[in-house]
């Protein structure tokens, strides 16, 4: 199976949807940029797209029987889930390219670091939520809870907020140390996903 076919099978994104998401996200980030909240708007979009997309897709794959066939194949479970999350990271970032460029122009090119870290964290969290969900109702609830928790923890000033890439995105001028710290949780989420799926 080619990379393009895998992308369509795992991420399920069409050119029309990507274009529509690009237009909507750029509009939202542009409007938020008028009040210096472009980074915050982009962070919220990344969380919702990154968490809900893979969560729902994994559950629909389970319902269609595709998921079970993949899991009994010779490929390793961590390998499949990392590949799944990787394709979803591309599916989230692709339509956001115009919005990311707008934020990079407004807040500086260093903002690309928390964008990438935030996407990885959101997608791996969404993949984990989909892995644990048994049906669509579970998936919707899990996606809502995970996305809401990530956004709430990013907005409320607590020690946890400093670890989240979305807090860095929302800041006007983040210090260089914050950019490095924002990569800790995404890397930890990848490790947690690998451990969880390998033990199932």
Residue with tokens 């914050």: 178
98: containing domain: 3-198
Number of domains in the chain: 1
In order along its 200 residues, the chain shows pLDDT tens digits of 555 555 555 566 667 877 888 888 889 888 888 887 888 888 999 999 999 989 998 888 888 777 667 666 666 788 888 988 998 999 899 899 999 998 888 888 888 889 999 999 999 999 999 988 888 888 899 999 999 999 988 888 778 788 888 888 877 667 777 778 888 889 999 999 999 888 76
Q: How far is CA 176 from CA 35, 61, 122, 166, 182, in A?
A: 24, 41, 22, 15, 10
Structure pTM?
Answer: 0.87
């Amino acid at each position: 199976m080619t990379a393009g076919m895998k992308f369509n099978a795992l991420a399920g994104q069409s050119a029309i949807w990507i274009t529509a998401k690009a237009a909507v996200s750029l509009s939202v980030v542009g409007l938020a940029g008028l009040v210096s909240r472009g980074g915050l708007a982009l962070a919220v979009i990344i969380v919702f797209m990154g968490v809900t997309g893979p969560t729902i897709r994994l559950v629909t794959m389970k319902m269609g029987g595709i998921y079970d066939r993949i899991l009994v194949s010779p490929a390793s479970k961590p390998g499949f889930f990392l590949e799944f999350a990787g394709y979803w990271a591309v599916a989230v970032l692709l339509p956001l390219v115009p919005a990311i460029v707008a934020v990079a122009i407004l807040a500086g090119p260093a903002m690309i670091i928390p964008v990438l870290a935030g996407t990885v964290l959101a997608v791996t969290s969404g993949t984990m939520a989909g892995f644990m969900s048994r049906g669509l109702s579970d998936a919707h609830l899990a996606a809502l809870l995970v996305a809401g928790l990530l956004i709430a923890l990013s907005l409320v000033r607590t020690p946890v907020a400093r670890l989240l890439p979305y807090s860095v995105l929302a800041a006007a001028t983040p210090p260089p140390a914050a950019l490095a710290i924002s990569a800790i949780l995404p890397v930890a989420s990848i490790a947690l996903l690998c451990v969880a799926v390998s033990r199932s």
